[in-house]
Amino acid sequence: MANIGIIGAGSWGIALSILLYNNGNKVTVWSVIEDEIKMLNEKREHERCLPGVKLPDDMVFTTDLEHTIKNAELLVLAVPSVYTRSTSKSMSGYVREGQIIVNVAKGIEENTLKTLTQIIEEEIPCADVAALSGPSHAEEVSRSIPTTCVVAAHSRETAEYIQNIFMSENFRVYTTPDILGVELGGSLKNVIALAAGIADGLGYGDNTKAALITRGITEIARLGIAMGGKIQTFSGLSGIGDLIVTCASMHSRNRRAGILIGKGYSMEDAMKEVNMVVEGVYSAKAARQLAEKYHVDMPIIKEVNEVLFEGKPAATAVKELMLRDKTIEHSDLPWE
């Protein structure tokens, strides 16, 4: 049994707290939002994020960050990506040398183009930082529906320690040394899921969705490899696996926001309607900037940005994607 601190009490933080508690660990969940902690303590349920999912009576919910960190052998950082840096700064004075922090959020910081583990390592240089990612909706993990993920760490020892902590009969965990690839796959798939949702909102069908998923993972892998990620990662759980589930499921807030945009909502109104953080909106600009920085062609990412931030009609964006110059699918395959 390990003492585990969950930093962030949103849907994913709560789902993982249940998983880790059921694995026999002592779990403390922290949130900066006092009303959220009060609700969790009184109702033993997150009424907004995971209604109907009951929480154990001896699971601890607190606003005391120092206590949560100092008593933990392992920390799970589960705040939305836009709060990763500010939360890491708040944590930095309490984290011990070598203390493991598992980041489970997905995103890229817009102004620095850093991944979330890079941000955490910058703010908490003494920590041993890892990333957990994959096709894993909180709504399903919280109800013990079979799920597989991958944990990326700098050392095999850390990765296998985290694997042992999280692994259960309903939650299978693989390991990888490719932290960068895992984080890029998890972040960029949210932007492609917005595109898939937009296509749904426009009334397009399965053919369109399949095209977006297939060409989307091509774009993600193209950028990821240019940045130093490994091709195997993008064909795995944090690449095509996470992309499929995020583009196809109504649990996906990115897809739901995209559907609304396809129906004519503004980006701001779509985010309000979804009423949860839509990570793809925050990652879209960063993805486009990375594509420009590394001279990588990412037409879907480009069109999503123009729809979100430049007022381009969604139907026009799809038409322009379809009418781009003719090309070969795999340029490295030889003709006879």
Positions marked catalytic? 189
Long-range contact list for 48-56, CB < 8 A, 24+ apart? 48/275, 49/10, 49/11, 49/14, 49/138, 49/276, 50/11, 50/14, 50/15, 50/138, 50/139, 50/142, 53/14, 53/15, 53/18, 53/142, 53/143, 55/14, 55/17, 55/18, 56/18, 56/21
Cβ contacts of 11 within 8 Å, gap of 6 or more: 46, 49, 50, 138, 139, 142, 276
Report the DSSP pairing between strands 147-152 and 171-176: parallel
Given a contact cutoff of 8 angstroms between Cβ atoms, the answer to whether 285 and 111 are in contact is no
Tokens of 264: 């004519």
